């Protein structure tokens, strides 16, 4: 709620005191935690003093304070008329000197206070008004609330456009607005993933100090990732034989279109990891080959001490992480455009026809989530609810973006908050993009067996074994991007003898379950990292249990 304070007819100090008292009352009414309220009031006091020192009330006779709560975030806007100046929170901090005057000392302390809270404060000048925005509280659930709002609006808009608007208008909006925005978002993430993964692995391996460090830190995390994929394979097969979605539908294929069966072998995939051409993996986005190259580059840096290359890798990684943040501003718009586009092009009937498969997939994701929690409880001897609480920002970003790549910054921060050493999580987080996808085997089994049930295709026990091997290999090699599973699914459908028409339905199902799938992937990767740290006795358990 915004309130104006007269600074011309009243004493400025009195107006300032009234504004601070108003802020205190509003924060108290919002029932903030004591530490959050005290921090917010301190930031407001120092910011207002700085703004009042540069105020010009000939422009406006008052200044305003706006305190509001949006999606769990508490935001305070302070607007004071005046000329643009170098706000204390953004200026450099100079050390106090013994001969500083009292006023100079106070201003130095003020700059120090604001600078310490700079991540919560932003300043801008527009129309002869200086504005300071203070993020008093940043809710971990705001992203989730925004995503759900975008989903609801997308369903409503999609239904209205498909059922009531002229078809030409609906298709025009889909082809020229919804689909392009989603494509720009996904292309932006794809552009960033290769340099982020490559530079992260290079830096991590270089920091480990040779093969002994790599063996100690990397061996156990790889073991847990492989176990997680095998677990996902078993969960997917079990839930399909329990729920059997699509049974009795007796759908008939409209055509016999198939793709050439791709033969995959364990030896062939192991040989494929080492690229014969250093450029081709980057052009084709072959993530395992890229990580293998990064491994050798990082190892060479560690053994040769090439500090300049190590620093260059860190700078490139930082740049592309920032670029990723730019694209994440489109997250909620992309969620809206994706769902609205699906309803416009396929209709609401798609949602109902795929309901059984959707609920089976989501059930599989929940089961995997629970298994990881049990592993944290009984293997690492830790409280899983603590992990869930500290993982909320990661889960919200994963749900919002449907991309483990976009959640990398949150994964790194959550790992650090849980007391996992950076030497481990800086290696495991990017590695998890290729190896740590326990939900991918669930997705493949549910899709293949649902297609078999829908079209009446019999899956022999011997085929189950060969499909299991293929699914396990594909779950490792499939890139962690929305829609990438459809490419590999065509191989599995052909191997199982199912019509490829099912892919059209699979696309819609994947869009509707990507939210929970990515959450389960991110949570599973974090759990594997936590288990590896606990297993190696390098986990800071005090930091993990810290509120």
DSSP 209-273: TSHHHHHHHHHHHHHHHHHHHHHHHHHHHHHHHHH-TTTT-----S-----PPPP--HHHHHHHH
Question: Higher-confidence residue: 255 or 497?
Answer: 497
535: nearest Cα among 414, 367, 412, 378: 378
CATH architecture assignment, domain 2-139: 2-Layer Sandwich (3.30)
Comparing 2-139 with 143-154+191-545, is the CATH topology the same? no
Out of 235-239, 357-361, 478-482, pick the least confident: 478-482
Give the start-to-end residue ranges of the domains of the chain: 2-139, 143-154+191-545
φ and ψ at residue 379, rounded to 5 degrees: -90, -50
Question: Mean of the per-residue pLDDT values for the chain?
Answer: 78
Out of 14-23, 33-42, 60-69, 95-104, pick the least confident: 95-104
User: Do the Cβ atoms of 492 and 444 come closer than 8 Å?
Assistant: yes
- pLDDT given for residue 30 in this prediction: 87
Residue 35 CB neighbour total at 10 angstroms:
8
- pLDDT given for residue 41 in this prediction: 87
- pLDDT given for residue 144 in this prediction: 60
Question: Tens digit of pLDDT for each residue in 137-184?
Answer: 776 556 667 767 887 888 899 889 988 889 889 889 988 998 888 778
Out of 104-118, 190-204, 400-414, pick the least confident: 104-118
- pLDDT given for residue 78 in this prediction: 93
242, with CB counted inside 10 A (0-12, 13-18, 19+), is: exposed
* Portion of the chain with pLDDT greater than 70, in percent: 77
- pLDDT given for residue 131 in this prediction: 92
CATH architecture assignment, domain 143-154+191-545: Orthogonal Bundle (1.10)
Residues in Cβ contact with 375 at an 8 Å cutoff, skipping those fewer than 6 apart: 527, 531
- pLDDT given for residue 286 in this prediction: 66
Question: Tens digit of pLDDT for each residue in 505-538?
Answer: 676 677 678 788 888 988 999 999 999 889 888 8
> Binning pLDDT at 50, 70 and 90, where does residue 311 land?
confident
- pLDDT given for residue 272 in this prediction: 67
Q: Measure the CA–CA gap between 174 and 181, rounded to whole angstroms.
A: 10
């Amino acid at each position: 709620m915004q309130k104006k304070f007269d600074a011309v007819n009243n004493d400025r100090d009195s107006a300032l005191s009234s504004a601070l008292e108003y802020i205190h009352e509003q924060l108290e009414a919002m029932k903030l935690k004591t530490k959050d309220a005290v921090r917010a009031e301190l930031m407001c006091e120092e910011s207002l003093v700085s703004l009042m020192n540069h105020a010009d009330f000939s422009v406006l006779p008052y200044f305003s304070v706006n305190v509001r709560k949006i999606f769990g975030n508490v935001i305070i806007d302070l607007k004071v008329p005046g000329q643009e100046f170098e706000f204390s929170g953004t200026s450099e901090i100079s050390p106090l000197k013994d001969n500083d005057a009292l006023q100079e000392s106070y201003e130095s302390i003020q700059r120090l206070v604001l600078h310490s809270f700079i991540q919560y404060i932003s300043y801008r000048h527009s129309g002869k008004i200086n504005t300071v925005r203070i993020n008093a509280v940043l809710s971990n659930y705001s992203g989730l609330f925004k995503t759900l709002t975008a989903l609801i609006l997308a369903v409503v808009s999609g239904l209205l456009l498909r059922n009531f608007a002229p078809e030409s208008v609906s298709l025009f909006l889909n082809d020229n607005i919804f689909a392009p925005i989603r494509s720009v978002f996904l292309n932006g993430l794809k552009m960033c993933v290769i340099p982020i993964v490559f530079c992260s692995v290079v830096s991590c391996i270089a920091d480990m100090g040779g093969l002994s460090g790599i063996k100690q830190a990397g061996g156990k995390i790889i073991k847990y990732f492989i176990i997680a994929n095998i677990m996902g394979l078993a969960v997917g097969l079990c839930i399909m034989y329990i729920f059997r979605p699509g049974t009795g539908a007796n759908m008939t294929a409209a055509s016999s279109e198939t793709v050439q069966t791709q033969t995959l072998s364990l030896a062939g995939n192991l040989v494929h990891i080492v690229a014969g051409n250093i450029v081709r993996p980057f052009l084709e986005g072959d993530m395992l080959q890229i990580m293998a190259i990064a491994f050798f580059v990082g190892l060479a840096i560690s053994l040769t001490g090439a500090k300049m290359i190590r620093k260059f890798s860190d700078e490139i990684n930082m740049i592309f992480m920032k670029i990723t943040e730019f694209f994440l501003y489109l997250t909620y718009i992309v969620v809206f455009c994706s769902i609205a586009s699906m309803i416009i092009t396929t209709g609401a009937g798609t949602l109902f026809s795929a309901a059984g498969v959707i609920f089976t997939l989501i059930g599989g994701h929940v089961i995997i989530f629970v298994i990881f929690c049990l592993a944290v409880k009984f293997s690492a001897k830790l409280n899983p609810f603590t992990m869930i609480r500290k993982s909320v920002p990661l889960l919200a970003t994963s749900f919002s973006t449907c991309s483990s790549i976009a959640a990398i910054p949150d994964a790194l921060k959550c790992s650090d908050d849980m007391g996992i050493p950076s030497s481990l999580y800086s290696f495991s987080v990017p590695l998890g993009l290729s190896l740590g996808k326990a939900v991918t085997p669930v997705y493949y089994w549910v899709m293949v067996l649902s297609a078999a049930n829908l079209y009446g295709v019999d899956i022999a026990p011997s085929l189950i074994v060969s499909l299991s091997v293929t699914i396990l290999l594909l779950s490792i090699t499939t890139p962690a991007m929305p829609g990438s599973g459809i490419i590999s699914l065509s191989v599995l459908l052909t191997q199982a003898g199912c019509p490829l028409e099912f892919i059209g339905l699979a696309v819609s199902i994947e869009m509707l379950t990507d939210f929970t799938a990515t959450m389960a992937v991110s949570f599973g990767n974090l759990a594997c990292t936590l288990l590896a740290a606990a297993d190696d006795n390098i986990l800071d358990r005090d930091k993990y249990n810290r509120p």
